[in-house]
Amino acid sequence: MDRERNGMVEGRRHQRGRFILIIAALAALSAVVFVWGISTSQYDIGFLEAYRVLMDRITGVPLDGTYDSWMKDYVVVELNIPRLVGGLAIGIVLAVSGAIMQSVIKNPLADPYTTGISSGALLGVSIYIAMGISLVPGLSGDSAQMMNAFLFSLIPTAAIVAITVMKRNITPTMMILVGIGVMYLFSAVSSMVRYQADPDAAHEIFTWTLGTLGRVSWDNMWILVAVSAFILAFGIAVSKTLNALTAGDNLARCLGVNVRVFRTACLVAVAAATGIVVSFSGTIGFVGLICPHIARILVGSNNRYVIPCSALMGAVMLMFTDSVAKIIVTSGLPVGAITALIGSPIFVYLLIRQKKNIW
């Protein structure tokens, strides 16, 4: 075998090893953030103390009856753990969905909300909070709000899929434009609803748009875990076909990919997963847009690496910023804002510093 060929084989092996190392490091980092996040709160709970509280709960040691011990037990076990699990799962869903959307739509500005999912969800939430209308009869409170958000979030994607079926030669750009059209329509209706609503309701709607992990609890976090497992498995399963798609629709078709069916399948999977996430958390922007790009800076554009790397980036980013949010903001709410606040400068820095010409 020739020397040049060996060099090439070695080069790829070396690169592969480096990428796996980067992904392993990110996995380790997310574990560290998770471990750290259990103790973070606006209350005075030490790192080791948090684990003592957790161990007491697991081993069934009864509380000593003081308010202080009750409060610490509640914060660590009932608040922090579900929020961390929620951050992990929602981060994975948003980042993987973003990576899939960017490849499928071939647009670096695409994110999980590109097709109008967030505006749909916002309208669902708005009509429940301001007018008390629940799409699923008999529901009330958070569950009614979440159900409304989920069902409305699917409408824009359903519109795009319907148009794809009717008009066979729809391009990705047209998909984005349809999404934007629907988004403006829904936003306009939401604004009108909010304008008519009383100030308290309007404020509540506004709070929802900021994004929070506060609604995640032991009871419902399993849904998020299941959704994140699904979208991660889906993303890894389609990564090879996503690679084929980067060579252009025509070539992908000549390689045996039914591009229209594949694109629609990806769109539906992302919409369903993101719709569920949005109904829990409200619109958390940034993660879905940025994590895939940071992943590409780290491991290149091969989707086999981009998907897992994005997933871990999203998990780390959301768990970390929510933990920071818990410490610095008394109400602990706007994780969406803090994510962008911390993430944007890091992202711009990485973008300017990197030498490769990825976009």
Partner 1 sequence: MNIEIDDLSFSYPEVNVFHDVTIEMNRPELYGILGPNGVGKSTLIHCMNRILEPSGGTVLIDGEDVGGYRLKDLAKKLGYVPCVSSDAFPMTVVDTVLIGRHPHSDWRVTKQDYDIVYDTIHAMGLDDLAMRPFNELSAGQKQKVMLARGLVQQPSAILLDEPTANLDIRHQYGVTKMLKRITRERNMLVVMVCHDLNIASRYCDRIILMSEGTVYCVGTPQEVITESNIRHVYGVECRVIDNGGCPHVIVCDDGLDDMPEAGPAASYEAETVPGIHKAVARS
353 binds partner 1 (CB under 8 A): no
Q: Please select the residue that binds partner 1; options are 80, 102, 164, 279, rule is CB under 8 A.
A: 102
For residue 242, the minimal CB distance to partner 1 (Å) is: 9
20 binds partner 1 (CB under 8 A): no
Structure tokens at 122: 């916002």
For residue 232, the minimal CB distance to partner 1 (Å) is: 15
Q: Please select the residue that binds partner 1; options are 297, 301, 329, 351, rule is CB under 8 A.
A: 301
Please count the other Cβ atoms lying within 10 Å of the Cβ belonging to residue 92.
31
Question: Which listed range, 23-31, 76-84, 99-107, 275-283, lies at the site for partner 1 (CB under 8 A)?
Answer: 99-107
What is the distance between the alpha carbons of residues 143 and 150, in angstroms, rounded to a whole number? Answer: 10
For residue 294, the minimal CB distance to partner 1 (Å) is: 14
Exposed / middle / buried, residue 305 (Cβ in 10 Å: 0-12, 13-18, 19+)? buried
For residue 284, the minimal CB distance to partner 1 (Å) is: 24
Sequence letter at residue 23: I
- Determine phi and psi for 95, rounding to 5 degrees: -70, -45
12 binds partner 1 (CB under 8 A): yes
> Could you tell me if 161 and 116 are in contact, meaning their C-beta atoms sit under 8 angstroms apart?
no
3-state secondary structure of 160: helix
Q: List the Cα angle 67/72/74 in 5-degree steps.
A: 95
166 binds partner 1 (CB under 8 A): no
Q: Which of residues 227-256 bind partner 1 (CB under 8 A)?
A: 237, 240-241, 243-244, 246-248, 250-251, 253-256
Q: Which residue reads 């769109």 in tokens?
A: 267
What is the distance between the alpha carbons of residues 91 and 284, in angstroms, rounded to a whole number? Answer: 9
9 binds partner 1 (CB under 8 A): yes
Q: List the Cα angle 231/262/169 in 5-degree steps.
A: 140
173 binds partner 1 (CB under 8 A): no
User: Count residues contacting partner 1 (CB under 8 A)?
Assistant: 37
For residue 246, the minimal CB distance to partner 1 (Å) is: 5
For residue 109, the minimal CB distance to partner 1 (Å) is: 12
Q: Which residue reads 């909010």 in tokens?
A: 194
What is the distance between the alpha carbons of residues 233 and 231, in angstroms, rounded to a whole number? Answer: 5
Q: Please select the residue that binds partner 1; options are 59, 65, 66, 356, rule is CB under 8 A.
A: 356
Render the burial of 261-291: b for 16+ CB within 10 Å, e for the rest. Answer: ebbbbbbebbbbbbbbbbbbbbbbbbbbbbb
260 binds partner 1 (CB under 8 A): no
Contacts of 324 (CB under 8 A, 6+ apart): 40, 338, 342
Q: Please select the residue that binds partner 1; options are 171, 196, 258, 344, rule is CB under 8 A.
A: 258
For residue 312, the minimal CB distance to partner 1 (Å) is: 19
264 binds partner 1 (CB under 8 A): no
Q: Which of residues 106-125 bind partner 1 (CB under 8 A)?
A: 106, 108
Q: Residues 306-345 vs partner 1: string with x where CB under 8 A?
A: ----------------------------------------
Please count the other Cβ atoms lying within 10 Å of the Cβ belonging to residue 1.
6
Binding stretches for partner 1 (CB under 8 A): 2, 4-5, 7-9, 11-12, 15, 102-103, 106, 108, 237, 240-241, 243-244, 246-248, 250-251, 253-258, 296, 300-302, 356-359
